[in-house]
Amino acid sequence: MAGRSKKKADTVFLVCEETGDYNYTLQRKPGGEKLRLKKYSSRLRKHTWHVEKKK
């Protein structure tokens, strides 16, 4: 137990591909693939693709 370090969760943002707006924030552990989700964009008033981005 003494030699282990825990990976902390990073804050990542979900950015709309069409408008470039930062609409959502998530807490994720580092590593793995980037998220690409269909979420609601309030500016366009429809569901659009959002991709993960670190600020």
The 10s digit of each residue's pLDDT in 1-55 is 566 667 788 999 999 999 999 999 999 988 889 999 999 999 999 999 999 998 7
- pLDDT the model gives residue 7: 78
- The reported pLDDT for the residue numbered 44 is 96
pLDDT value, residue 1: 58
Q: What is the pLDDT of residue 5?
A: 66
Would you say 14 and 35 are in contact if contact means Cβ atoms under 8 Å apart?
Answer: yes
Residue 2: its pLDDT value, please? Answer: 62
